[in-house]
Every structure is written in C-alpha cells, then in structure tokens.
Amino acid sequence: MYEIIYEEIEKKEEYNKIIEKVLSKCFEEEKITTSKLNLTITLTTSKNIQKINKQYRKIDRATDVLSFPMFEKEELEAKIEEEAYEHEDILGDIIISIEKVEEQAKEYEHSFERELSYMVVHGFYHLMGYDHIKEEDKKIMRAKEDKILKDLNIKRD
C-alpha cells in the first residue's frame, strides 16, 4: 500500500503512525483497500524539496508537499471501477518537507499531527487526480480532505 522513505531526516515512529492512520482512512474512503495501488511518501528537508521543486516544476523555492501522480484522473477512476488490480501499480509519490510541516503547524497554531496529516491527505488526493487550481475543483478536493481529517478527529487546535 505504501512505503515511507526518510531522506536526510531522522526516522520517527510518530511520523509513521500518523501516515499509516491517514492513508488507511484515505484508502478506505476511496474504496481502494483491496487494490494493488502503492505509493511512496518521502519525508525530507526543505533544502531537498526545493531542489526537487526546481528540477520538476522550475520553481526555485521550498514548498511543503509535492505530489507526482502516475495516472490521469479518468484512467485511475476506470481502473478502480473495473477493479483492474491484476498487477501492482504505482499510484504515485508524495514528498513532504518535515521542516515546513513544523513551521506551518506553529504559524497556523495547530498541532504537528494535524499539519502532517493534512499534507498526507492533500498529497493523496493529488495522486487521485484532484486539484485546486479552479475554484470548483478546489471545493471538491477540500471537502474530501476535510472529511478524512474530521473522520479521524484531527482538528485545528
């Protein structure tokens, strides 16, 4: 279902538990618990995420989360609807700056758990083909993210 990679940061069981809880709920909510869809979450530094952001998006600054989906939304929806899980498939990659998670948790005055959970669910829904560029798309994506966090009782403090 998922793999967590630690790149230039200390491995912490707390991070693993938060990620597992959120991804399990995401897979359950999207009815893909029996799928063979896998994803990778890389937890890293702001310096590393800035390099990746520059390389792939031509934006030379650190960001909080990057998502690299392997499927177009329609293609993924068809696969899920048909339950075409003959082979394992890569859903995509999520990269999260732990430093940005810490900064933003303080800035928004909520817990580290809430901020990391939001980054995971936000990245997951990008992998599922959702976006927030257009306002109507943003409403759909935010509602999905909010439902996951609400169901897990992860609130803004």
Tens-digit pLDDT profile for residues 87-114: 788 999 999 999 999 999 999 999 999 9
| CATH number of the 2-151 domain | 3.40.390.30
**Burial class of residue 121 (count of CB atoms within 10 Å of its CB; 0-12, 13-18, 19+):** buried
Model confidence band, residue 157 (pLDDT cutoffs 50, 70, 90)? low
Q: Are the C-beta atoms of 42 and 5 separated by less than 8 Å?
A: yes
Residue with tokens 């310096």: 47
Beta-sheet strand order (sheet of 89-97): 2-6, 37-44, 89-97, 65-69
Q: Please tell me the distance from the alpha carbon of residue 97 to that of residue 122, in angstroms, as a whole number.
A: 13
Q: Please tell me the distance from the alpha carbon of residue 134 to that of residue 129, in angstroms, as a whole number.
A: 13
